[in-house]
Structure 1
């Protein structure tokens, strides 16, 4: 048995039609830990198969000394209920350690799911490109806007 780990894109997986397609990830995570802020970016689809990775990454970020964790959700194209659970768990974990969580520019699908589940108001959300101050100043509250305004 080989100790090599599979590399995404190198394997073929069957589709519903029986054709083969490259095995590609559906979600990408990146993390940059600084002294004042840890920035996590989530891209792609957040579902049952991968939402736990967000929680695990935030748990790892607790080891860093940054008082603020910002999760950029602007490039999320699908967001299931497990994504909501992952963010709630992340917020609880950070709060237990005296840290702050801010959701940065949640995509329309993320905003919709969090709104429908009634959890959107439980988070600090920043829609503008600039990130919030680290000194404890709260991010501005979410203000629903109409498309095109």
Structure 2
């Protein structure tokens, strides 16, 4: 086997100079079931190229659990497709009598949700590793003023 072949899941992309560099993932997803609540953690960039993966994960989780908490504290880029993934998951869960809660959305995520007018749709919890339990609503979000 040639040593020039990339490993499974690893590809090489050209740079401006014409050399090749390893193509690293830009988003990581993890999922942990905690009783009747499933926590989904998102790290990195959510954009057109990968938002469908977040949407698929959230839709699959929503079909199996009544409550989903999405930790967005380590998201560094958040495009409109990420917003769409969250809105669709929210619709699926609430349609089944469940809940979707956003945990510690990064300033990038919060800004996109504010601009798109969707921040108010979601329950947002700003505490680290918040456990979403029962039917009590999460703490309401008050949009921060610029520069504060």
Instruction: Tell me the TM-score range normalised by the shorter chain.
Output: 0.7 to 0.9
Unaligned stretches of 5+ in structure 1? 1-5
Unaligned stretches of 5+ in structure 2? 1-6
Q: Which runs of 4+ in 1 moved over 3 A?
A: 144-149
- Counterpart secondary structure, 2:72: strand
Tell me what 2:21 maps to. 21
- Relative distance call for 1:56 and 1:141 in structure 2 (3 A) is same
1:7 pairs with 2:8: yes
After TM superposition, the structure 1 stretch with the greater mean CA deviation from structure 2, 55-64 or 117-126, is 55-64
Q: How many Å apart are 1:79 and its aligned residue?
A: 0.4
Could you report, residue by residue, the CA deviation over 1:71-111 in whole angstroms, capped at 9, with x for unpaired residues?
00000000011111111111011112221000000000000
**Aligned partners of 1:84 and 1:133: how far apart in 2?**
21
Q: How many Å apart are 1:147 and its aligned residue?
A: 8.5
Contact 1:67 1:100 in 2 (8 A): yes
**Aligned partners of 1:63 and 1:88: how far apart in 2?**
15
- Counterpart secondary structure, 1:12: strand
RMSD of Structure 2 on Structure 1 (CA): 1.9
**Aligned partners of 2:84 and 2:18: how far apart in 1?**
34
**Aligned partners of 2:103 and 2:66: how far apart in 1?**
16
TM-score by length of 1: 0.86
- Relative distance call for 1:137 and 1:115 in structure 2 (3 A) is same
